[in-house]
Amino acid sequence: MSEGSPHIQVLKDAGYRLTQARLTVLGILEAERGHITSAEVLERVAALKPAIGRASVFRTLDLLTQLGIIRPTYNGSSLTPTYVLMRDGHHHHAICTGCQRFFEFDDCGLEALSRSLEQTLNLQISGHLLEFYGICAACRPPAAGASA
C-alpha cells in the first residue's frame, strides 16, 4: 500500500487513527482488484498480522463501509456480502444471473448524470455503485446452428 493512498487520507481526514488493523485491512482491499468476502479478509489478515483479532477486522470493515471507502455487495440469494473498494468513488459490474459471476468494468460514462443529480437532488455526490444483470455466454443456450 502506497503512502499516498487516498483512502488513508479519508481515514485521517475523518479523524481516525491509523491502527495496525485499519492499515492492514485497507492494504488487503487495495491489493484486491475485485470482490472479497470478510472470510477472505480474515484469512489474509491472519497470514499477514496474526495479532489482529477477528473483532477488529469486522469493526474495520464496518468503518470503511461507513466512510464510503468500500461497499458491501450482495449476489444472488447469499446473505454474505462481498466487499469492493470504491476506486475514485466508482465501482461498476455486471452480474450473470445464471452463474452469479461478476464482470467488472472501469468506464461508466456517468459523470454527466452524476453532476445533474447533484443539481436536481441537491446532493453532494461522492461515488456510485453500478450493477447490471444479464446472462453470460457460458449460461446462454447455444444459438441454433452454432458449431461450438
Residue from 31, 48, 99, 125 in contact with Zn ion (CB under 5 A): 99
How many CA atoms, within 13 angstroms, populate the side-chain half-sphere of residue 67?
A: 21
Separation of alpha carbons 103 and 99, rounded Å: 11
- The residue among 54 and 103 lying less far from Zn ion, judged by its C-beta, is 103
DSSP-derived secondary structure letter, 33: S
Structure-block grid coordinates of residue 122: 441537491
- The residue among 5 and 114 lying less far from Zn ion, judged by its C-beta, is 114
Residue corresponding to grid cell 447455444? 142
Query: Cα 55–93–118 angle (5° rounding)?
Result: 90
**Count of H-run helices and E-run strands, the chain:** 5, 6
Give the shortest CB-115-to-Zn ion separation in angstroms: 12
Q: Which stretch binds Zn ion (CB under 5 A): 15-23, 37-45, 103-111, 140-148?
A: 103-111
Give the shortest CB-87-to-Zn ion separation in angstroms: 9
E-state strands within the chain:
36-37, 70-73, 82-85, 90-96, 102-104, 128-134
Using the rule CB under 5 A, is 7 a contact of Zn ion? Answer: no
Helices (H), 16-70: 20-31, 38-48, 54-66
Using the rule CB under 5 A, is 98 a contact of Zn ion? Answer: yes
Using the rule CB under 5 A, is 96 a contact of Zn ion? Answer: yes
Using the rule CB under 5 A, is 31 a contact of Zn ion? Answer: no
**Binding flags for Zn ion, 55-94, as an x/- string (CB under 5 A):** -----------------------------------x--x-
Site residues (vs Zn ion, CB under 5 A): 90, 93, 96, 98-99, 102, 104, 108, 110, 136, 139
